[in-house]
Amino acid sequence: MVLIKYCVLAWLLGLGPALLWAQQVTLIEDSSHVYFGELIVEGINWSEDEWKEMAQDPQNMGANYLQVYVGKDPSGHQQPAMWGKYAASEHAMRFKPRFPFEFDQDYYYRFKHNQHRTEGSFRVEDRYPATRPRLLSLEPKIPVVPANILRFYLHFSTPMRRDSPYQYIHLIDQQGDTVKQAFFPAEPPLWDRQGKRLTLLFDPGRIKSGLESHEAWGLALKTNQQYHLVVEEKFSSYRGQTLSSSVSHSFVVGPLDIQSPQINNWKISAPKAHSQDSLMITFDEPIDRAQAMRWIQVQQSQDKPTKGKVHFSGEGNWVFKPDLPWGIQPYEIMVNNQLEDLAGNSLRKPFEMSAGGTDTLTPAGWITWPFHPVE
């Protein structure tokens, strides 16, 4: 879980004899941890006024207390602190850099609270083998996608270079021409925290009717046409190593999908009690797999999460294998109603819904779906 952990001692001054004051600074490396890639300072005693100020304005107040720099020690240099997001809890604060900490790069932090001062350096060690990157998979994998598909996901074997990935990705139509302005050039690019999964977003302005880009350009994809999504060999890892060859993914475009998924049409295959058989949900249409990984959960009726592993069987089946055998008590499947299909239609509303139609929407939240293991 923890890559680097520093326990720094500072002096508490101004209260008569000097007392020893402990501060712990931790960098979270475990990618499964909720605070992966963040620097955490623990052992802070906020006053009531400080706590209120942090709650009201965590960005400005956090930057006053904690600064993180690139390099071993910025003393004597007019070097700006790294940009990032600050958050505070009762006895701690967190810093999440706008761009993740890089491997084999030195960093320096300073934390000052009242007369307490803690500072030190750290380095993120590179634990990945020095091999050429590979494009492991491209999702969705189905041969026919809706004409208004919203996103593809590219999964790589190692962290990739994060800047300007779009120059290496092309959409080619069946005449062999490159489709111009098909993708939305998000800045920063939509990488996961590890830099191994890229979300490739089709330009929503060309998808949603009534918008200027849609009226001027229309959809990037044409129904009944075949396309190739090409990832160039020049696409490189954070080490500068390129792919061994270009990769091409072919698909055919089907009709528009303008309807929300219907959870009432999903089917549950309940496991046997006292077993570790898998629980399976079969969807009524392909669902965004990355969202489903975090927005479908299992718990016991007492709000106790059930731990286990999730994978997909094909594009239509969500499969959950518990770490421990199922009991005989009732369980609940929790589904976030913001979960989307491939065209961005969520359980809560279709992608094409106009702003005027949102007044009758149910709030964003979780849908509870009870089931019993089979005895």
Neighbour tally for 323: CB within 10 Å: 9
Domains in the chain: ranges and CATH: 2-123 (no CATH), 135-253 (2.60.40.1220), 263-371 (2.60.40.1220)
Distance (Å, whole) CA 59 – CA 243: 39
pLDDT of residue 224: 97
Greater confidence (260 vs 104) lies with: 260
pLDDT of residue 22: 55
Mean pLDDT of the chain: 86
pLDDT of residue 360: 63
CA atoms in the 13 A half-sphere facing the CB of 16: 0
With b meaning 16 or more CB within 10 Å and e meaning fewer, what string describes 335-372? bbbebbbbbbbbbbbbbbbeeeeeeeeeeeeebebebe
pLDDT of residue 73: 74
Distance (Å, whole) CA 36 – CA 193: 8
Residue 100 pLDDT more than 90? no
pLDDT of residue 34: 65
Neighbour tally for 156: CB within 10 Å: 21
Question: How do residues 45-80 score in pLDDT, each as one tens digit?
Answer: 888 888 888 888 989 999 999 999 998 876 666 788
DSSP result, 327-346: -SS-EEEEEETT-BBTTS-B
pLDDT of residue 239: 82
Predicted confidence band of residue 336 (pLDDT cuts 50, 70, 90): very high
Residue 138 pLDDT more than 80? yes
H or E element, residue 213:
helix 212-217
Question: How do residues 180-210 score in pLDDT, each as one tens digit?
Answer: 999 999 988 999 888 899 999 999 999 998 8
pLDDT of residue 30: 67
The two tokens of residue 198 are: 């890229």
Say what percent of the chain tops pLDDT 90.
57
Predicted confidence band of residue 276 (pLDDT cuts 50, 70, 90): very high
Mean pLDDT of 348-359: 73
pTM: 0.75
Question: How do residues 218-235 score in pLDDT, each as one tens digit?
Answer: 999 999 999 999 999 999
Mean pLDDT of 101-113: 86
Question: How do residues 281-327 score in pLDDT, each as one tens digit?
Answer: 999 999 999 999 999 999 987 678 899 999 998 767 999 999 999 99
Predicted confidence band of residue 12 (pLDDT cuts 50, 70, 90): very low
pLDDT of residue 7: 41
pLDDT of residue 32: 62
Is the peptide bond preceding residue 188 cis, with omega within 30 degrees of 0? Answer: yes
Residue 149 pLDDT more than 70? yes
Greater confidence (257 vs 217) lies with: 257
pLDDT of residue 231: 97
pLDDT of residue 10: 34
pLDDT of residue 331: 94
Residue 13 pLDDT more than 60? no
Predicted confidence band of residue 19 (pLDDT cuts 50, 70, 90): very low
